[in-house]
Amino acid sequence: MRRWTLVTALTVLLTATACTANDGEGDVLPDEQATTDGPIVPVDLSADLEDPEGSVLGTAELSDDVLTDFAELEVKVSGLTAGFHGIRLFEADSCADLASAPSVVLPPMLVLEDGVGKITTLVGQVSLDELVEGDGVTVVLDQAVPGVAEVGTGSQLACGSFEP
Protein backbone atom coordinates (compact mmCIF):
# COMPACT_ATOMS: atom_id res chain seq x y z
CA MET A 1 0.00 0.00 0.00
CA ARG A 2 2.81 2.44 0.90
CA ARG A 3 4.55 1.58 -2.36
CA TRP A 4 1.55 2.63 -4.45
CA THR A 5 1.19 5.82 -2.43
CA LEU A 6 4.82 6.69 -3.13
CA VAL A 7 4.47 5.89 -6.85
CA THR A 8 1.32 8.02 -7.07
CA ALA A 9 2.98 10.92 -5.24
CA LEU A 10 6.02 10.79 -7.52
CA THR A 11 3.80 10.69 -10.61
CA VAL A 12 1.88 13.76 -9.46
CA LEU A 13 5.11 15.57 -8.61
CA LEU A 14 6.72 14.79 -11.98
CA THR A 15 3.59 15.81 -13.84
CA ALA A 16 3.36 19.09 -11.93
CA THR A 17 7.01 19.97 -12.54
CA ALA A 18 6.81 19.04 -16.22
CA CYS A 19 4.03 21.57 -16.84
CA THR A 20 5.69 24.96 -17.19
CA ALA A 21 4.23 28.21 -18.34
CA ASN A 22 5.42 29.67 -21.64
CA ASP A 23 4.26 33.18 -22.43
CA GLY A 24 4.23 32.36 -26.14
CA GLU A 25 6.98 34.82 -27.03
CA GLY A 26 9.19 32.18 -28.64
CA ASP A 27 12.48 31.35 -26.93
CA VAL A 28 12.38 30.22 -23.33
CA LEU A 29 15.83 31.83 -22.82
CA PRO A 30 16.34 35.58 -23.23
CA ASP A 31 18.06 36.51 -26.50
CA GLU A 32 21.43 37.17 -24.83
CA GLN A 33 21.44 33.61 -23.45
CA ALA A 34 20.13 31.85 -26.56
CA THR A 35 22.75 29.93 -28.48
CA THR A 36 22.98 28.45 -31.94
CA ASP A 37 26.32 26.73 -31.41
CA GLY A 38 24.76 23.28 -31.07
CA PRO A 39 24.67 20.95 -28.08
CA ILE A 40 26.93 21.49 -25.10
CA VAL A 41 29.71 18.90 -25.09
CA PRO A 42 31.34 18.17 -21.73
CA VAL A 43 35.07 18.79 -21.54
CA ASP A 44 37.08 15.91 -20.14
CA LEU A 45 40.66 15.93 -18.94
CA SER A 46 42.67 12.74 -18.75
CA ALA A 47 45.98 11.71 -17.24
CA ASP A 48 48.05 8.54 -17.33
CA LEU A 49 48.82 7.14 -13.87
CA GLU A 50 52.54 6.39 -13.92
CA ASP A 51 54.67 4.69 -11.28
CA PRO A 52 58.09 6.16 -10.38
CA GLU A 53 59.74 4.04 -13.12
CA GLY A 54 57.44 5.53 -15.78
CA SER A 55 55.18 2.51 -16.33
CA VAL A 56 51.53 3.38 -16.98
CA LEU A 57 49.31 1.58 -14.45
CA GLY A 58 46.02 3.13 -15.51
CA THR A 59 44.18 6.31 -16.39
CA ALA A 60 42.29 9.02 -14.56
CA GLU A 61 39.64 11.21 -16.14
CA LEU A 62 38.05 14.39 -14.82
CA SER A 63 34.71 15.60 -16.17
CA ASP A 64 31.62 17.49 -15.07
CA ASP A 65 28.90 15.17 -13.77
CA VAL A 66 25.83 15.76 -15.98
CA LEU A 67 23.38 15.61 -13.06
CA THR A 68 25.17 17.79 -10.51
CA ASP A 69 27.58 19.94 -12.58
CA PHE A 70 30.26 19.01 -10.03
CA ALA A 71 33.63 17.58 -11.05
CA GLU A 72 33.77 13.80 -11.25
CA LEU A 73 36.88 11.61 -11.22
CA GLU A 74 37.04 8.19 -12.85
CA VAL A 75 40.10 6.00 -12.23
CA LYS A 76 40.77 2.73 -14.10
CA VAL A 77 43.77 0.53 -13.34
CA SER A 78 45.08 -2.95 -14.09
CA GLY A 79 47.96 -5.11 -12.95
CA LEU A 80 47.88 -3.85 -9.35
CA THR A 81 48.02 -5.57 -5.99
CA ALA A 82 44.57 -6.48 -4.64
CA GLY A 83 43.26 -4.32 -1.83
CA PHE A 84 42.11 -0.79 -1.13
CA HIS A 85 44.11 1.96 -2.84
CA GLY A 86 43.84 5.49 -1.49
CA ILE A 87 43.21 8.32 -3.97
CA ARG A 88 44.20 11.93 -3.39
CA LEU A 89 43.88 15.06 -5.53
CA PHE A 90 46.47 17.82 -5.18
CA GLU A 91 46.44 21.46 -6.26
CA ALA A 92 49.64 21.07 -8.25
CA ASP A 93 50.60 20.99 -11.90
CA SER A 94 53.02 18.06 -11.60
CA CYS A 95 53.84 15.01 -9.50
CA ALA A 96 56.93 16.69 -8.05
CA ASP A 97 56.88 18.42 -4.65
CA LEU A 98 53.40 17.40 -3.53
CA ALA A 99 54.27 17.54 0.19
CA SER A 100 53.28 21.20 0.56
CA ALA A 101 50.41 21.24 -1.97
CA PRO A 102 46.80 21.41 -0.71
CA SER A 103 45.00 18.11 -1.22
CA VAL A 104 41.70 16.30 -0.81
CA VAL A 105 41.30 12.63 0.07
CA LEU A 106 38.76 10.76 -2.06
CA PRO A 107 37.08 7.40 -1.45
CA PRO A 108 39.46 4.45 -1.86
CA MET A 109 39.37 2.21 -4.91
CA LEU A 110 39.04 -1.54 -4.43
CA VAL A 111 41.29 -3.58 -6.70
CA LEU A 112 40.18 -7.20 -6.98
CA GLU A 113 42.34 -10.35 -7.09
CA ASP A 114 42.66 -10.06 -10.89
CA GLY A 115 44.48 -6.74 -10.42
CA VAL A 116 41.74 -4.63 -12.01
CA GLY A 117 40.04 -1.69 -10.34
CA LYS A 118 37.71 1.13 -11.30
CA ILE A 119 36.03 3.92 -9.35
CA THR A 120 33.94 6.94 -10.27
CA THR A 121 33.41 9.57 -7.57
CA LEU A 122 32.47 13.21 -7.22
CA VAL A 123 35.41 15.38 -6.23
CA GLY A 124 33.26 17.72 -4.13
CA GLN A 125 30.95 20.63 -4.67
CA VAL A 126 33.16 22.22 -7.29
CA SER A 127 32.89 22.31 -11.09
CA LEU A 128 35.63 21.07 -13.39
CA ASP A 129 36.46 24.65 -14.43
CA GLU A 130 36.84 25.72 -10.80
CA LEU A 131 38.93 22.65 -10.01
CA VAL A 132 41.53 23.12 -12.73
CA GLU A 133 41.97 26.89 -12.45
CA GLY A 134 45.05 27.99 -10.61
CA ASP A 135 47.96 25.64 -10.00
CA GLY A 136 46.51 22.64 -11.86
CA VAL A 137 45.40 19.24 -10.57
CA THR A 138 47.37 16.06 -9.89
CA VAL A 139 45.96 12.69 -8.81
CA VAL A 140 47.91 10.24 -6.65
CA LEU A 141 47.14 6.55 -6.19
CA ASP A 142 48.54 4.93 -3.05
CA GLN A 143 49.86 1.39 -2.47
CA ALA A 144 47.24 -1.20 -1.49
CA VAL A 145 46.29 -1.67 2.14
CA PRO A 146 44.30 -4.63 3.52
CA GLY A 147 41.27 -2.67 4.75
CA VAL A 148 39.47 0.63 4.46
CA ALA A 149 40.58 1.64 7.97
CA GLU A 150 44.23 1.67 6.81
CA VAL A 151 43.64 3.83 3.70
CA GLY A 152 46.02 6.75 3.73
CA THR A 153 48.85 4.76 5.28
CA GLY A 154 50.14 3.39 1.97
CA SER A 155 52.96 5.08 0.09
CA GLN A 156 52.55 6.65 -3.34
CA LEU A 157 52.16 4.08 -6.11
CA ALA A 158 51.29 6.17 -9.16
CA CYS A 159 50.72 9.78 -10.12
CA GLY A 160 49.22 11.72 -13.02
CA SER A 161 48.75 15.42 -13.78
CA PHE A 162 45.83 16.89 -15.69
CA GLU A 163 46.63 19.44 -18.36
CA PRO A 164 43.73 21.76 -19.28
Q: Going by DSSP bridges, is the β-strand pair 56-64/45-50 parallel, antiparallel, or unpaired?
A: antiparallel
Does a structural domain hold residue 26? Answer: no
* Neighbour count for residue 40 (Cβ, 10 Å): 9
57 versus 148: which is more confidently predicted?
57
The CA–CA distances, whole Å, from 89 to 41, 124, 141, 142 equal 24, 11, 9, 11
Does residue 39 form part of some domain?
A: no
Predicted pLDDT of residue 80: 94
User: What are the backbone dihedrals phi and psi of residue 150, each rounded to the nearest 5 degrees, phi first?
Assistant: -95, 0
pTM, two decimals, is 0.70
Quick check: is 27 in a domain?
no
3-state SS, 73-92, equals: EEEEECCCCCEEEEEEEECC
Query: For the domain that residue 137 is a member of, what is the CATH number?
Result: 2.60.40.200
pLDDT of residue 31: 45
Count up the domains in the chain and report the number. 1
Above 90 in pLDDT, residue 111? yes
Q: Per-residue pLDDT tens for 130-140? A: 888 877 899 99
SS3 state at 6: helix
In this structure, the number of other CB atoms found within 10 A of the CB of residue 116 comes to: 14
- pLDDT value at residue 69: 85
Max mean pLDDT range (46-60, 90-104, 120-134, 148-162):
46-60
26 has a pLDDT exceeding 80: no
For 34-91, write each residue's pLDDT tens digit.
Answer: 444 544 445 589 999 999 999 999 999 999 988 888 999 999 999 999 999 999 999 9
- Examine residue 25 and state whether it is found in any structural domain, yes or no: no
The verdict on residue 81 lying in a domain is yes
Q: Residue 17: pLDDT above 50?
A: no
The answer to whether 155 and 143 have CB atoms below 8 angstroms apart is: yes
Residue 54 lies in a domain: yes
Domain membership of residue 71 (yes or no) is yes
pLDDT cut 70: percent of the chain above it: 68
Q: Tell me whether residue 138 is in a domain.
A: yes
Q: Measuring CA to CA, which residue among 63, 36, 58, 35 is closest to residue 47? A: 58
SS3 call for 146: coil
Say whether pLDDT at 20 is over 60: no
